[in-house]
Every structure is written in C-alpha cells, then in structure tokens.
Amino acid sequence: MKFDVLTIFPEMFSSYLRFGILGRAIEKGLVDVRVVNIRDFARGRHKTTDDRPYGGGEGMVMKAGPIHRALKSVERVNGKTHVALLSPQGRRLDQSIAWELSGWDQLILVCGRYEGVDERVRLTCIDSELSIGDYILSGGELGAMVLMEVISRLIPGVLGGERSNLEDSFEEGLLEYPQYTRPGVFQGKEVPPLLLSGDHEKIRLWRRTESLKRTVERRPDLLKKARLTPEDKMILDSLRKNPEGS
C-alpha cells in the first residue's frame, strides 16, 4: 500500500511514521508513505496557501491552485489510485470503509485546514471525502494518521498474527471481550477462573458472550449491522432475559 499525504504541516508526521504498527510496516516494506508539503507548490514570495473567502465571512480557505499542483506532482499507480479529502462533511470512517479503501494500491490523502478547501478542489480533484468523527479538529492531519493506521492493519503481514485484525473490536461489528494477563490477582480483582481452566470451548463461549454483553451495554447501535450467528442470537435472548448473566 502506498500513501501520499498532502499537508501544510509535514512535520506533524515525522515522529508518527517511525513508531508502532505503521513504523514497522514501513520498515518491512509493506507500506510506503510520502508526505508532500502543499506550500512547496504555492506561488509568490510568501508561498501563501490560503486566502479570504469570496462573499465574506470568518476564517480563511485553502486555495485550489497549490493543492491542484501538489496532486499533479504525485506519481500515480495506474488505475489503482484513490484521492480522499479529510473533511467533516465526508463519510464517517468505520471498519467496512477501511476494508473498502484497503483494496486500492495507492491512497492520496488531502489534509484540509482552516475553514476548508476551495470547492473546486472537491469538484475536480477528489474521489471521496472522509471524516473520522463528528467533532472539530484544526485540520485533516490527525485524520490522515488514523486512516493510515486503520488501513495498514488490514494489509497481510503488517500484524504479527494472521488473525489479529479479524479479532479486533468492530471487525465483526461487535466490541471485543475483556482481556486479562498476569498477575492472577490485581487490586483484589481476580482473573475469571474459566480463563485458567484450559477448556477452549468454554473459553470461546465466555468470550463471545462477554463481547455481545459489552456491545449491548455500550454500543447497542452496532448490533443493527453486526454479523450475528444463530448462537449469537441465542446468547442475546438469554442476556435480555437475564441482563446480569454471562
């Protein structure tokens, strides 16, 4: 997977790209990230990338010219490139969208700033708009970082175990079950004895039940799109009759 990130603050990415899952993926050659400074494509002595909006109003708008020229400078993967603008008006990112985007060989991510970008950028340069949530950020850089990590986790070889990404929260539309590790007792709280039993089938059923229970309690909206098995539906019926059960 190749990511090209267009931003006026390339320095924000220098540390992020050296650590964690994405940093290891880059070291392995599974992911390639290039950060493009939009200011390098601005004209004039001051390299201005924004201006006042036509029609008046508060704030500044990113100019179309520098973004357009920056996009033209990016070498494209033939037929396998998708250009996305990080924008609060875009589709809200979820795991299904992440899988959809992971099918491209190259993603070009345009990071908006200020009051947004000139509408003509949206109309002539952008394939889609993406948002990471219904809240306000100063720009699209953090959104681009989130997007790159979410997608990179889906690339074969990036995670240690082949099934690691399939067992994450949201992958099946459910929240993940509680996790425990050593010591066996912490602050007076013990690890559930069943997890120490060695009975893999009972452990599997306990984890699935806890996953469903946690989703019902914290994110019941997810159940509308979750891939539920007949066993899941039986567990949910039992939880509705006995909410404290597990």
Return the pLDDT at 123: 97
With 0-12 / 13-18 / 19 or more C-beta atoms within 10 angstroms meaning exposed / middle / buried, residue 111 is buried
- pTM: predicted TM-score of the whole model, two decimal places: 0.87
Catalytic residues: 88, 115, 153, 168
d(CA 80, CA 85) in angstroms, rounded, equals: 17
CATH topology of domain 2-152: Alpha/beta knot (3.40.1280)
pLDDT band (50, 70, 90) for residue 169: low
Do 31 and 22 meet the contact criterion of CB atoms below 8 Å apart? yes
Which residue ranges make up each domain of the chain?
A: 2-152, 173-241
d(CA 117, CA 65) in angstroms, rounded, equals: 11
Closest-CA residue to 177 (of 160, 189, 162, 194):
194
For 171-211, the pLDDT digits (tens) are 788 999 999 999 999 999 999 999 999 999 999 999 999 99
Specify the CATH architecture of the domain 173-241: Orthogonal Bundle (1.10)
Whether pLDDT at 163 is above 70: no
- Mean pLDDT of all residues in 91-108: 97
pLDDT band (50, 70, 90) for residue 243: confident
Tell me the CA distances in angstroms from 193 to 129, 198, 199, 206, 211, one per residue in order.
47, 10, 11, 11, 18
Residue 194, both tokens:
């069943």
pLDDT band (50, 70, 90) for residue 23: very high
d(CA 39, CA 66) in angstroms, rounded, equals: 7
d(CA 42, CA 49) in angstroms, rounded, equals: 6
Examine domains 2-152 and 173-241 and report if their fold is the same: no
